[in-house]
Copies of this chain bind each other. A is one copy, B any other.
Amino acid sequence: MREVLAQAAFQLFLERGFERTTVDDIVARAGVGRRSFFRYFPSKEDVVFPDHDRCLAEMTEFLAAVDDGDPVGAVCDAARIVLRMYAADPEFSVQRYRLTREVPGLRTYELSVVRRYEQTLAGHLRGRFGADGDGALRAEVIAASVVAAHNNGLRLWLRSGGAGDPEAAVDHALDLVREVWERPAEPSPALEKPGPAGVTTTGSGDNEVIVMVAAKGTPMWRVVQQIEAAVGES
């Protein structure tokens, strides 16, 4: 049913444009009732990206089970799950790519989808790096790099009309990121100094409290970083 609705919607978007297609048009084409549509898709935008929720769930599951030894490699592999979803149906993926470039509302929607992947990858890295010191910063920057590299490779393939194997371009792009982030770092003056603040949480439930002790002169942003690390806020 989901599939049938997505196909009907897409035919209509291509025939008469996204803006001029209504949900009523889609259910009429699919031969189902209006309520069926909203059971599967919260909005007309969602029907353009029917697989991202499943893909995000798969990514989360993969990362929960992955080996701890190579966190940057793990998030690169997690990104490849998205690639495989696109590669599984080249024709649909290419049509969607073209449609998305023409409809500003879809481009914005796609950005929010991409952001959810990025946050999922960053969350995994934060868990591995620890959110102390620069853990959260590194997690966010690496997640953004991985997503940008993946999308660069994916877009090359989509622009080519879905010809050939997209994996080579994406592997190459992700290798660049791994190579850069897994090279041993030369310490910079700032990185050598761990933040002098310590934060612990005690108690439980509603009575849980944060206790923070920081050396005189600790910058406020560092204090905030440390507290957030302790309470696990992202």
Which residues of chain A have a CB within 8 Å of any CB of chain B?
A: 107-109, 111-112, 115, 134, 136-138, 140-141, 143-145, 147-149, 151-153, 156-157, 159-160, 163-164, 166, 168-169, 172-173, 175-177, 179-181, 183-192, 194-201, 203, 206, 208-225, 227-228, 231, 233
Contacts and interface: CB of A to CB of B under 8 A. Distances in A.
Given A213-B211, A215-B208, A224 B224 contact: yes
Nearest to A219: B195
Given A199-B220, A216-B201, A231-B216, A136 B160 contact: no
Contacts of A166: 221
Nearest to A180: B180
Contact of A195 (B109, B194, B217, B233): B217
Given A137-B149, A180-B185, A191-B179, A156 B213 contact: no
A164 B109 contact: no
Interface SS of chain A: helix, strand, loop or mixed? helix
Nearest 3 A/B pairs, CB to CB: A195-B219, A144-B148, A169-B221
A149 B141 contact: yes
